Amino acid sequence: MFTNLKEYKMHIKRLTIWGISLLLLSLISLNIFAQTGSERVLTPGETIQGVIDEANAAQVYTFTAQAGDVISLSIESDIALTLLVTNAQGVNIAQARVQDEITGINDLAIPVAGVYFVTVFPINDTSGTFSLTYQNISSNTPEDTPVATTAAPPTTTITADTFTTSQVFLPSGMEVSLRWNTNDDLNLQVRDPNGGTLFWGSRTTAEGGSFGLDVNGLCEVINTPPNVETASWAGGSLPTGSYEILVYHRQACEEAVPVSFTIDVSVNGVALDPILGSIQAPVGDEATVFLASFTLREDGSAVIGRSGPYTDTRVLPISTQEILETPATPLTLGTPVQGVITNEQYFQTFTFSGQAGQNVTVSMRNERGNLDTLLLVLDSAGNIVADNDDIEPAVNTNSAATFRIPATDTFTIFASRYGKDVGGTEGVFTIEISGSELPEQIINRNLPSGDIEVTLVWNGTADLQLLVRDPFGNSVFDDTRRVASGGELVETGNINCVQSLNQPPVYYIYWPPNTLRIGAYEVEVWYQSDCGIPGPVDFQIYIVVSGQLIFTDTVSIDFNERYLTSFSIDQNNVASPSDAGIIQIAGGSVTLPYQQELASAISISGGDVFTGSITPSNKFDIYVFEGQIGDVVTIQMDATSQTLDTLLYLIDPSGAEIAFNDDAGDSTNSAITNLTLTQNGQYIILATHFGTIYGGTTGGYNLSLRIDR
């Protein structure tokens, strides 16, 4: 901040090195620039008086003009001055040294509609007064558009192709404050158009936003009313678009009664109409929510949007009949379509045809903007058959609903946003329907639908077991029928050789809606008993993720054999299947193509400890050591992270597999202990995971070698 004219003048000289266009950015830090108001807005034909002295090193004014306008700025002064015109981004549009016969800037054509800044500062270290007159000689509009508390909505329909966000320069920034007068824990949250959010748990954003005090947090320290929480943005370039305001009633610190509050919004120093509201006390641990919004436009004007209490996902602001009668876009399986949600259009409708028993997933994801999606699916009678707000609350605010179609019908998708009509997020979204084609023998079982569905089907009396291991290393099977991640065993086929009442026998493990997690899932089929009728069994396995059949296989398996496959869910909730096949523990080294990688094997000696990792793209590591006849070796492989289920093989100098270990003791770590070598030469250690090339567990490990001679 410049405290006197001399300091300011020295700063101007330094700026000259970098270019005069940087001047405005420096002036933002001046006191006089922070004190913007109506007296600093130039009006055509009016003259403004200004002062340059030690307390006022420069003066800054604004005007609004349209593209093609021709304007003039004239100054009368007893001192020599510099006159500078810049746009909202600080780019120099025109400048003039006002002295002698030069009295200002004449006939300046405005290139782009918007707010412009006029800066007046002295050429020499002098003080004085001046008169500044602004003229709009050729105006494309009858008058400038001021910042207003109300404004008419745009008349142009916004589409997915035309929806954009931009920036506008606000020298005084913005502020949103929440005021209430009770001893309750209310919280303020504001989401900006680019997806940044300000609240007690996110105190800064990339757009220059900052959050103040968390008042009455958890009712631990009670403030003396009135209470105020504030989100603010420093002066500068800020994103245009819709800012969503959320008020949470987290905890009633005294009596559980409704709380009245006021939301104040200030844009560039101009107050918008206050938002008055009341919010109910929380129910149990669930906070109640009130929503509001305001829109910042490209010309710097702002308008308050709709507001009201949050309602449950299935509570609609209009009747289902109105939704069904809204013109809709037809969808087909597997073909994504884009749409847009704005404050003027808070929902769109889409239709699709479904067959009874078909398993489908309707997904809606934000592509551009700050849109927090929400969707519902209605049948032709207006009944809600599926809904979803967040795929994973507080983590993934996109939406996906997986369900089995109850009856052949035409369905309508209500694609909207959190808060629906009173919400404040906007953006372009992609909506898509995916589905699986399962055999009737599965569809007719009316099994529950979910985010992940793994189905095993076979004919006969044999007892086959299905096991699915989740990304956290927990397995769902007949001994553990439910795990913390949500996986659940529903159908158990011919378990313990007790024939299934429904034929053919089916094993079914699924994860209910909203339980999809990122990571690798391993699927195992074990032929554990022939139930007195020997012979191979043919089975079919189906893996469905988010309503889409990602993997199916038909396999012939013999008694006590194990079949293994895996699939991974990435950060975009896209599923990728892996290889599959019958595995073997003893002799399993033949499934690993290690010979072609021997040249890059790691040399290890007795007493060494190495670290490594098994990943979907690195199924095994190779170590080599020199052994002698009579050496007694111990090899230990211990998992150190994630879900890794280790497996060790030892190959002798002739290429024969002489030892292996899957599980050492009660753990899933591996150890080959006290093995006496019978040959001299190079031995090969293969460090891998259960299932070798078909395995799905991953993670880090430590490998150690001890040689006793």
166, 369, 573, 364: CA torsion to nearest 10: -140
CB atoms within 10 A of CB 652: 17
How confident is the model over 108-123, as pLDDT tens digits? 878 777 788 888 888 7
CB atoms within 10 A of CB 264: 16
Residue 20 is predicted with a pLDDT of 38
Q: Which of 529, 550, 583 is the last residue of a domain?
A: 583
Unique residue bearing structure tokens 């959320």: 246
- Kindly state whether residues 208 and 292 are assigned to the same domain: yes
For strand 621-627 and strand 609-614, is the pairing parallel, antiparallel, or unpaired?
unpaired
- Kindly state whether residues 42 and 90 are assigned to the same domain: yes
Could you give the number of structural domains in the chain?
Answer: 5
Residue 91 is predicted with a pLDDT of 65
Q: Which of 566, 583, 600 is the last residue of a domain?
A: 583
- Kindly state whether residues 353 and 427 are assigned to the same domain: yes
| 537 beta partners | 557
Report cis status (omega within 30 of 0) of the bond before 226: yes
- Does some domain include residue 129? yes
Cβ atoms of 337 and 315 within 8 Å: the answer is no
- Kindly state whether residues 398 and 508 are assigned to the same domain: no
pTM summary value: 0.54
- Does some domain include residue 68? yes
Residue 309 is predicted with a pLDDT of 92
Q: Which of 387, 407, 436 is the last residue of a domain?
A: 436
Report cis status (omega within 30 of 0) of the bond before 225: no
- Kindly state whether residues 196 and 277 are assigned to the same domain: yes
Check the CA dihedral 96-102-104-110 and report its sign: negative
Q: What is the mean pLDDT of each run of 10 residues along the chain (709 residues)?
A: 33 35 39 49 89 84 83 88 78 74 78 81 82 79 36 52 85 94 93 94 92 88 89 93 95 88 94 92 87 93 93 92 94 91 95 84 92 96 92 84 86 96 94 78 79 93 96 94 96 92 91 91 96 94 87 92 93 87 89 91 96 92 96 97 94 96 90 96 96 91 95
| Sequence-distant (≥ 6) Cβ neighbours of residue 491 within 8 angstroms | 445, 447, 500, 506, 507, 508
- Kindly state whether residues 172 and 131 are assigned to the same domain: no
| Sequence-distant (≥ 6) Cβ neighbours of residue 574 within 8 angstroms | none
- Does some domain include residue 314? no
| Sequence-distant (≥ 6) Cβ neighbours of residue 100 within 8 angstroms | none
Question: 662: domain range?
Answer: 588-708
Residue type at position 110: I
Structure tokens at 536: 């191979």
Q: How far is CA 481 from CA 452, 454, 465, in A?
A: 15, 14, 12
- Does some domain include residue 315? no
Q: Give 228: exposed, middle or buried? Use CB within 10 Å, 0-12, 13-18, 19+.
A: middle
Residue 405 is predicted with a pLDDT of 85
Residue 18 is predicted with a pLDDT of 33
| 549 beta partners | 544
Of 418, 144, 140, residue with least CA distance to 301: 144
CATH number of the domain residue 608 falls in: 2.60.120.380
- Kindly state whether residues 592 and 573 are assigned to the same domain: no
Cβ atoms of 627 and 705 within 8 Å: the answer is no
- Kindly state whether residues 596 and 579 are assigned to the same domain: no
Residue 702 is predicted with a pLDDT of 97
Cβ atoms of 131 and 77 within 8 Å: the answer is yes
- Does some domain include residue 145? no
Of 536, 522, 450, 446, residue with least CA distance to 491: 446
Residue 346 is predicted with a pLDDT of 95
Of 566, 543, 545, residue with least CA distance to 553: 543
Q: How many helices (H) and strands (E) does the chain have?
A: 5, 51
Residue 140 is predicted with a pLDDT of 52
DSSP conformation letters of 212-227: ---TTGGGTSPPPSSE
Calculate ∠ Cα 58-64-69, nearest 5°. 115
Task: Compute the half-sphere exposure of residue 280: CA atoms within 13 Å on the CB side of its CA.
Answer: 11
Residue 38 is predicted with a pLDDT of 53
Check the CA dihedral 371-372-377-382 and report its sign: negative
| Sequence-distant (≥ 6) Cβ neighbours of residue 500 within 8 angstroms | 491, 492, 493, 494, 506
Residue 626 is predicted with a pLDDT of 96
- Does some domain include residue 696? yes
- Kindly state whether residues 129 and 220 are assigned to the same domain: no
